[in-house]
Amino acid sequence: MANQKHTITTSNFNFPNQKSVYKGKVREVYNINNELLVMIATDRLSAFDVVMPKGIPYKGQILNQIATSMMKATEDLVPNWLIATPDPNVAVGHLCEPFKVEMVIRGYLSGHAAREYKAGKRILCGVQMPEGMKENDRFPEPIITPATKAEMGDHDEDISREDILKRGIVTEEDYLILEDYTRKLFQRGTEIAASRGLILVDTKYEFGKTKDGQIVLIDEIHTPDSSRYFYAEGYKERQDNHEPQKQLSKEFVRQWLISNGFQGLEGQTVPEMSDDYIKTVSERYIELFENIMGEAFVKANVSNIQKRIETNVLNYLSA
């Protein structure tokens, strides 16, 4: 099992023609000549908008390989930003101007939608939710419930299609394309999940515009960090018996943190993650990969992960 020496939790590369670096919660994005983006999926783990102190072995490779594989499996429906994957932890793609909305689509009453429903709300992001539903029931049709970054702070806030257009965040012409692409991607993601004994419950897609004005899918897609999956087997029985669904997402990490007194609130301290616990998280991520992808996970060589990534990216950029 890889230890902390064999994870990548931060990078400090200096590639040829590098213009800038953006460090997100789990990804680090290098701008090459204002044309390409080199996106490195680190092994950082984020929960409750807080990055955990230790990395999870192979997590970056897992998320990158699921996302890039799912992009290839949907590129006949929706164009995307991806050009190449020169390393298990790296995706290279076109520099895009991102739209300032996340397209969240929900097939089931789960997560945030279920919490709002329980609080008595029947309209979410301007979309009517039917009466008489219980948590994890399937919607008659998938609903699109967009989110946008709050004016203050880093959290996402719900927004309706009407408000997006009224505030001029996206033009109507572009927004209709985003909705169409979101539905097509979710349908394909649902079919892929079903072929692997899974239910794609909800997910989010992000889009951007290339320099020539083409709308493309960007960022990750159908990963356990951006999506919620249920196991299809036993779904109906669990619903009928009012039991929680068997989930395939990083929810297990959140539950562990909650049981150890942490929910990202002010004054709370991140609990210590022992090496044994980190090992179990890594194993769970490998299990997620194998279920979502329907294939065995092949561990990359992590004896010197920084050097490996740097060499592979440099070789790609100089080719």
| Res 149: pLDDT | 75
The DSSP call for residue 77 is T
Q: What global pTM score does this model have? A: 0.92
Cα angle, residue 103 at apex, residues 68 and 93 outer, rounded to 5°: 30
| Res 165: pLDDT | 97
Mean pLDDT per segment of 10 residues, for the chain of length 319 residues?
75 96 93 96 91 94 97 98 98 96 97 94 97 97 91 76 96 98 98 97 97 95 92 97 90 89 90 93 93 96 96 96
CA atoms of 112 and 117, how far apart (whole Å):
9
CATH superfamily of 4-96+278-318: Phosphorylase Kinase; domain 1 (3.30.200.20)
CA atoms of 193 and 197, how far apart (whole Å):
6
| Res 298: pLDDT | 98
User: CB burial class (10 A; 0-12, 13-18, 19+) of residue 275?
Assistant: exposed
Size (the chain), residues: 319
Same fold flag, 4-96+278-318 and 98-248 = no
Structure tokens at 96: 């895009």
- Per CATH, the number for 98-248 is 3.30.470.20
CA atoms of 229 and 166, how far apart (whole Å):
33
State the chain's maximal CA–CA distance in angstroms.
Answer: 59
Report the half-sphere exposure of 109 (CA within 13 A, side-chain side): 24
| Res 170: pLDDT | 97
| Res 2: pLDDT | 46
Structure tokens at 274: 């022992």
Spatial CA neighbour of 273 closest among 53, 60, 59, 62: 53
| Res 156: pLDDT | 78
List the chain domain ranges.
Answer: 4-96+278-318, 98-248
Cα angle, residue 186 at apex, residues 94 and 209 outer, rounded to 5°: 25
